[in-house]
Amino acid sequence: MSEKEKEHSKIQWFFFVIFIPTVFAIVLVGIVLTFLGVNVIDQAKQIGSKVPVVSSLFVEKEEPDVKELLKTISENNDEIEKLQTKLEKKDKEVASLKEKLSVKEQELKREKMKEASNEEVKSNDELKDIAKTYESMSAKNAASILSELKDTEALLQISKVSIDKRAAILAKMEPEKAAKLMALLVDKEDAERR
């Protein structure tokens, strides 16, 4: 045999006689131990971490520092408290602004009602002045003026005139216009009674 063949045969002998049977035995033992309930992988890691050269292959998981975690939790809790305080402050501001808005709305309503009341009083005073003017005129002249007005305006003006003078004015009007005004007067008085 040549030297190359002897080398090949020694290498082959090592693989066939030592290496392959050893690997096979390790795998077989690992399978049997796994079926028996032993955690083979964790055991191998523990043993491997004790061997000097092999231990560099196993990287241990670094457990987080408990103090660091507690510090982070404390900082987060402080931040949450600050945010809750800000939120409560903003809620109070919103409630205060809503209350101010409500007060302003009430003031505005009162102001509008006051203006409407003043307008009504002013309008009523003007109508009374107009009624006095009609009462000082002759019934014929008052009837001709009221006949030229729109029905709603004529109604407002004649409603403030005294009943006697109103009767005299209506008597001097055209019957159709007088009938319309009388119907409107009746409707207005019914509405005021309700």
Inter-residue contact 49 to 55 (CB < 8 Å):
yes
DSSP state of 156: H
Question: Which of 132, 178, 182 lies closest to 190 in space, CA to CA?
Answer: 182
Query: For the whole model, what pTM was predicted?
Result: 0.38
Average pLDDT, the chain: 83
Strand segments, DSSP code E, in the chain are none
Q: What is the pLDDT of residues 147-190, one digit of tens each?
A: 888 888 888 888 888 888 888 888 888 888 888 888 888 888 87
Q: Which of 26, 56, 52 is nearest to 41 (CA)?
A: 26
Sign of the dihedral through C-alpha 61, 66, 69, 73? positive
Q: Does domain 96-193 have CATH number 1.10.760?
A: no
The per-residue pLDDT for 78 is 94
Could you give the residue range(s) of every CATH 1.10.220 domain in the chain? 96-193
Q: pLDDT, tens digit, for every residue of 95-118?
A: 999 999 999 999 999 999 888 877
3-class secondary-structure state, position 85:
helix
